[in-house]
Amino acid sequence: MLKFGTDGVRGVANAELTPELALALGRAAARVLGGDRCAVGRDTRRSGPMLEAALAAGLASEGVDVVLLGVVPTPAVAWWSASEGAPAAMVSASHNPFADNGIKLFAAGGRKLPDDVERRLEDELQRLLRLRPADDGGEAGDRPVPTGAALGRIDAAVGADAGYRAAVVASLDGRRLDGLRAVVDCANGAASAVAPRVLRDLGVEVEVVNDRPDGTNINDGCGSTHVERLGPLVAERGADLGIAFDGDADRVLLVDAAGQVVDGDQIIAMCAIDRHERGVLAGDSVVVTVMTNLGFRQAMEKRGIRVVETRVGDRYVLEALEAEGLALGGEQSGHVIFRDLATTGDGLLTAVQVLDVVVRTGVPLGELAARSMTRLPQVLRNVRVARRDPAIVDRLAADIAAVEARLGDQGRVLVRPSGTEPLVRVMVEAPTAAEADAAAAELVRAVEALGA
C-alpha cells in the first residue's frame, strides 16, 4: 500500500493509487478528521475525476457532505478549508508527470495534517483495506453504517474559486500592479483559469502560455519544472517578467526581463528584505530549509534578519513558522508560505507579493533579485549505493570535515542519505562553480569508496 509522505499519498494512478484506495481513504478521512462537510479539489490530470469520484464516495458513505470544487489550485482548497472551518482534500501529484496522481488532506482550518493525525489516518486506512465488504456486518468500527438520509450529499460548487481569488487580490490592501507586462506559464495545470484572471484584475498585462490542459499535458515541458523554457519567451516578448507555476499552483518560479530564472531563495530574500525595511517582518526572522543557498544566509545576516533552518519539506517550514510565531518562509523550489496571508504554500499569492515589491520600489525584478542576495554556485550529486544506510554520514565525517575546512565560511557542505531510496545526496556550495564541482567530486568518491 502507498505510504503517506510529506505531502499525502502519491503514485501511478490506477496502478498504485487506485479508486479502491481512494474510496478507503475517503472513509478513513471521515472517521479520523471528523466534521460533517469536506471539500475536494483536483488538478487537470485525466485520472483526476476518477479519483475525485472515489474519494467523494468514501466520504459520503460515512455521512459527510462533499463539496466538489472542481479544477482549482491547491491553495484554493486550503483557503476553502480555512474559511469554512472544515476538512478538505486535493487530488493532485503537483509537479509529477501526468500519469501520477496523489491525494493530500487538510485538517479543518486549512493546515496540513500533523504527524500523529497522519499516523491515525494511515492505521485506519490499513484496517479498512484488510476488511471484506461483508466484514463490517453493517457497522463501521463501533458505529452503524449510515443509510438513507444519513448518507452524505455530493454537490458541485458554483464559482468555487471566487473567494480564493478575492483573497489573493485583497492581500495587496487595495494596491494595484498596473504597468507590468508578464508572460504566465500555467503548466497546463490548476492555475490555467485562475492565475491570469487574478493578475489581470490587478492590472497586469498578461500573455498566457500552457493554459490548455487536455488531461495529459500537465507539467509536460512547461511550468516551474521547465522554467528555463520561459526565459527566452519573456525576452522575446519584451515583457517585464515571467511567472511559472507547477501543476497544482502551490509553487512558483519567476523569470526576469533578460530571461534569467529567479528561484525560491531569491523570492524569499526579496520579500523578507522588503518586509524588514517596512518593519512588518514578524520576529525579524525567516524560515528556510537546509537546501537554501548560502548566499541567502549571508544576505540575511548582513541585514540583521535571523534565519531559522528546517528539514527539506514545506510542512516543516510551516511547523517552524507556527512554533515561533513567524510569517515568512519557504523552499528553493518556489514553495513559499506567507503565514499571515495563507495556510499553505501558494504560487499565485507569492507571485502577487513579489510583483507588489517591484511596483512599490520601482526596481525591475532582475535588479531587485541581484540586490537581495548573491547566489553561490551550488552543485548537487546523487550517489547510488548498494543499500540505504542512515549512518553513512557518520562514516564520512572526516571527508566532510576536510572539505568544510578548505571552504571555510565561504562555502557549505550537506551530505544526507535519501529517506526513500538507496542514494546519498551530496550538495556543495562554493565561491566558484569550479570549486563547488571539485569539492562535490571529492565527496562522491568518498561515498563510492565506502562501498555502502
Instruction: State pLDDT tens for residues 11-69.
Output: 999 999 999 999 999 999 999 999 999 999 999 999 999 999 999 999 999 999 999 99
**Fold of the domain built from segment(s) 264-346+357-372:** Alpha-D-Glucose-1,6-Bisphosphate; Chain A, domain 3 (3.40.120)
Bridge partner list, 255:
242, 261
**Fold of the domain built from segment(s) 163-259:** Alpha-D-Glucose-1,6-Bisphosphate; Chain A, domain 3 (3.40.120)
Looking at residue 416, its pLDDT comes to 86
Please pick, among 94, 285, 333, 372, the residue that the annotation labels catalytic.
Answer: 94
Bridge partner list, 143:
140
Smallest Cα–Cα separation from 99: which of 40, 35, 14? Answer: 14
- Residue 3, judged by CB atoms within 10 A of its CB (0-12, 13-18, 19+), counts as exposed
Check residue 49 and report its DSSP letter.
Answer: H
Per residue in 160-218, pLDDT (tens digit) is: 999 999 999 999 999 999 999 999 999 999 999 999 999 999 999 999 999 999 999 99
Report the distance separating Cα 280 and Cα 276, nearest Å: 6
* pLDDT, mean of residues 412-429: 85
Domain ranges, ordered by start, for the chain: 9-160, 163-259, 264-346+357-372, 378-450
Least confident residue range of 221-225, 306-310, 329-333, 422-426: 422-426
* pLDDT, mean of residues 309-321: 91
Burial state string for 380-391 with b = 16 or more CB within 10 A and e = fewer than 16? ebebebeeeeee
State the CB neighbour count (10 A cutoff) for residue 210.
Answer: 25
Looking at residue 83, its pLDDT comes to 97
Per residue in 267-276, pLDDT (tens digit) is: 999 999 999 9
State the CB neighbour count (10 A cutoff) for residue 298.
Answer: 15
Report the distance separating Cα 341 and Cα 168, nearest Å: 9
**Fold of the domain built from segment(s) 9-160:** Alpha-D-Glucose-1,6-Bisphosphate; Chain A, domain 3 (3.40.120)
CB under 8 Å to 7, separation ≥6 — which residues? 94, 102, 104, 112, 313, 314, 315
| CA 208 from centroid of its chain's CA atoms | 22
Across all residues in the chain, what is the average pLDDT?
93
Q: What is the pTM of this model?
A: 0.90
Looking at residue 132, its pLDDT comes to 55
Bridge partner list, 329:
287, 337
Looking at residue 134, its pLDDT comes to 46
- Could you check whether 264-346+357-372 and 378-450 share the same CATH topology? no
The answer to whether 47 is a known catalytic residue is: no
Query: Do 182 and 205 meet the contact criterion of CB atoms below 8 Å apart?
Result: yes
* pLDDT, mean of residues 378-403: 87
Grid coordinates of 202? 490587478
* pLDDT, mean of residues 144-148: 89
Bridge partner list, 264:
none
At 256, which amino acid appears?
D
Smallest Cα–Cα separation from 306: which of 291, 326, 278, 336? Answer: 326
* pLDDT, mean of residues 73-84: 98
Three-state DSSP class for residue 354: helix
Residue with more model confidence, 385 or 184? 184
Q: Hunting for cell 513559499 — which residue is that?
A: 336
What are the distances in angstroms from CA 98 to CA 74, 219, 220, 304, 379?
16, 7, 8, 43, 28
Report the distance separating Cα 432 and Cα 4, nearest Å: 39
**Fold of the domain built from segment(s) 378-450:** TATA-Binding Protein (3.30.310)
With 70 as the cut, is the pLDDT of residue 6 above it? no
Query: Do 130 and 121 meet the contact criterion of CB atoms below 8 Å apart?
Result: no
